[in-house]
Chain A
Amino acid sequence: MSNMMEIKNLKAKIGDKTILNGLNLNLEKGKVHAIMGPNGAGKSTLSKAIVGHYDIEVLDGEIIYKGENIIEQEPEERALDGVFLSFQHPVEVPGVNNAYFLRTAVNAKRRHEGKEELNAAQFLREMKKYIETLGMKPDMISRSLNEGFSGGEKKRNEILQMQMLSPDMIVLDEIDSGLDIDALKAVSEGINSMKDGERSFLVITHYSRILDYIKPDYIHVLKDGKIVKTGGPELVAQLESEGYESLGEV
């Protein structure tokens, strides 16, 4: 068994508040890991720490990705090496054309990988496939990035970016929040289509609903900045019936 990412004894704070208290987590290649936990457990902080957000100050520990500690790496370096975060609240960027932005990102990654850049026609052809299966309105690609998008449109746009960038380590932060049932299905199908036995997924969620659509291999329970329990899918049912409170410190 080999790991895509190993998080070792991670301690991190935001502002004056220490949120992660020595978190350990192994994310296996080709597997779907779900992190569940109550509000304030540190779920979003964990996702931000993985992608190197500036809000996070890492106090101790390592994040080993593809065998290398990436704690000191800039966000764009991690991204170019295949770490992707689907944001809980994707930000709006007025005036920046959605397709132009995405092509810039895709070509930055292709350059990084020593591949030839996609020209506008190639890029559009490639993107069209995904747009249709995601059920996105065609005009969304020519609008400003996320500007005026509904909650569902924003999440579909995140998935479109994920598909186009073809990352190896995919972190999905509350991907189901604000989605109606149709959007949830489209988004889940998009995610499931990316499973190839190599890529790893980290699904961060407060509710178990999404896990009916994206079947996890492992469930981890995050509480007070630590993983307090790890198990198989059966753990979901236990959490549903007993709540997070039933899980004491390990």
Chain B
Amino acid sequence: MPQKELDKVVSGDYALGFEIDIEQDTVEPGLDENTIRFISAKKNEPSWMTDQRLKAFEKWKKMTEPHWGHLDYTPIDYQSISYFSAPKSAPDSLDEVDPKIIEAYKKLGIPLEEQKQLQGIAVDAVIDSVSVKTTYSEELSKHGVIFCSISDAIRDYPELVKKYMFSVVPVTDNFFTALNSAVFTDGTFVYIPKGVRCPMELSTYFRINALNTGQFERTIVIADEGSYVSYNEGCSAPMRDDNQLHAAVVELIAMKDAEIKYSTIQNWYPGDEEGKGGIYNFVTKRGICEGENSKISWTQVETGSSITWKYPSCILKGDNSVGEFYSVAVTTLAQQADTGTKMIHIGKNTKSTIISKGISAMKGQNTYRGLVKIAAGATGARNYSECDSLLIGDKCGAHTFPYLESKDSVGQVEHEATTSKISDEQLFYLRQRGIGEEDAVSMIVHGFCKDVFRQLPMEYAVEAKALLNLTLEGSVG
């Protein structure tokens, strides 16, 4: 099939590129100690938190931006970013939330009125630097579940925050975590008490709205002994010609017999065909399986951002603990993604599974980078990795960098990798049976992603499929 036609099929429109017209408090671009004190003051933080931030800032100043990723982008000027922006007037109840915000979230498919929501999904809505609304908090508190913004948690649950923040992802883990530790603004805090199965899906929806603003959120999910939680995050941003930075940190802690299922549908603005605009997404996500028989499962569907640099990882410390990583990463237009995972086996009989599906179209570049590390003493550790790449057209690329470090010779590691081209023969076969071109591409791509989509909670699987269609086939017709 002619390349031009195929490009038309895969250059979907970005449907969430609108701007919310609200009054916002945005600080002048620039980063120094005063900026950090300003953020901390805006959040009414206790002094221990302010001190933490300032220490992180000192460390960050001595660090350099990493460039080992298979990524090519214009350098980030950290002084030209605004580090805080919030809708004016902080609301106490939904009645006080700006109707325009409620309207905007509705447009994103996320009603903030509890009675109108999908049954059993609690939402934390974050715009730029602040959480504007957390639903079902009261209902959840009956079960002892804490579901609130990180800013609230710092004030209301300082002991938990002090104990767990920076415990899985240290301040100086990398350049972006140090920056985030200094300037993080909002995010979600979740604590599930012992033996509680969280009665609803928890989710956070991140929206970048203000111009020239970076979003630096921080999320912590703690699942105490024998508990279970399924947490989901989604994100989007307006279409702009300038690049915007998103540098988040997520920490997960699973105690003995606990399970955390963390799903992401990432749909930041991807920029245009020439690579102009779009979100730079530099994210550090890591979970620790602290206790025996604990389990952490990451599922991600990455369709947005012009640059994605992200490796959700598991430290399998508890014996018999399980780590999973399921990923679909789509790069079309001029998008670049360098994504994968790290599975660190420390406990005995720990098990990890990695299923990564990269889809590249147009000028998209997709890299899988993954580390499986088996520490001395991790007897009986097992890993299975499968990394598949699908190329649509002939200007895109796929790259695979699997790393293996094994200190224990009894570990069992299996790695499979394939790269296939969405072939003219497959497309033709489906079309010869009367299936239109657009449906045929969609059918092949969905088939390719099936193993990952089946890991998503039902509502999100539907959303992910729709999003994939939109990303890859929006404009035929």
A→B interface (CB under 8 Å): 51, 53-55, 74-76, 79-80, 84-85, 87, 90-91, 93-97, 101-102, 104-105, 108-109, 112, 144-145, 161, 165
Contacts and interface: CB of A to CB of B under 8 A. Distances in A.
B426 A91 contact: yes
Contact of A51 (B425, B432, B451): B432
Contact of B436 (A84, A96, A108): A108
A96 B444 contact: yes
B197 interface: no
Nearest to A164: B433
A108 B449 CA distance: 23
Given A76-B436, A76-B437, A95-B449, A104 B443 contact: yes
Contact of B435 (A53, A94, A105): A105
Which 7 residue pairs of A and B lie closest in terms of their CB atoms, listed nearest first?
Answer: A95-B447, A96-B447, A105-B433, A79-B434, A75-B431, A95-B450, A91-B425
A108 B47 CA distance: 65
A104 B439 contact: yes
B430 to A, nearest CB: 7
Given A105-B430, A145-B447, 16 more contacts: A74-B437, A76-B432, A76-B435, A76-B437, A79-B434, A80-B434, A84-B432, A93-B426, A93-B447, A95-B451, A96-B443, A96-B444, A96-B447, A101-B430, A109-B434, A165-B434
A196 to B, nearest CB: 20
B21 interface: no
Contacts of B450: 95
A95 B449 CA distance: 8
B26 interface: no
A97 B444 CA distance: 10
B175 interface: no
B251 to A, nearest CB: 33
A108 to B, nearest CB: 4
Contacts, number: 75
B449 A79 contact: no
Nearest to B450: A95
B234 to A, nearest CB: 24
B1 interface: yes
A96 B76 CA distance: 42
Given A76-B437, A105-B433, A54 B447 contact: no
Interface string B414-443: 000000000111101111111111010001
A76 B424 CA distance: 14
8 contacts: A91-B426, A95-B447, A96-B443, A101-B443, A105-B430, A105-B435, A108-B433, A108-B435
Given A54-B424, A101-B443, A104-B443, A93 B434 contact: no
Interface residues of B, number: 25
Contact of A94 (B424, B430, B436, B447): B447
A93 B430 contact: yes
Contacts of A105: 430, 433-435
Contacts of B423: 91
B194 interface: no
Nearest to A55: B424
Contacts of B444: 93, 96
A79 B431 contact: yes
Nearest to B425: A91
A90 B432 contact: no
| Max count, chain A CB within 10 A of own CB: residue among B423, B429, B434, B449 | B434
B446 interface: yes
A102 B435 CA distance: 10
A84 B432 CA distance: 7
Given A91-B423, A108-B434, A165-B433, A75 B448 contact: no
A93 B440 CA distance: 11
A75 B428 contact: yes
Contacts of A96: 443-444, 446-447
Contact of B429 (A54, A93, A104): A93
A85 B432 contact: yes
A76 B447 contact: no
| Max count, chain B CB within 10 A of own CB: residue among A80, A84, A85, A104 | A104
Contacts of B451: 95
A32 B443 CA distance: 34
A85 B434 CA distance: 11
Contact of B433 (A55, A79, A95, A112): A79
A146 B451 CA distance: 18
Given A54-B428, A95-B446, A104-B439, A76 B434 contact: yes
A204 B428 CA distance: 20
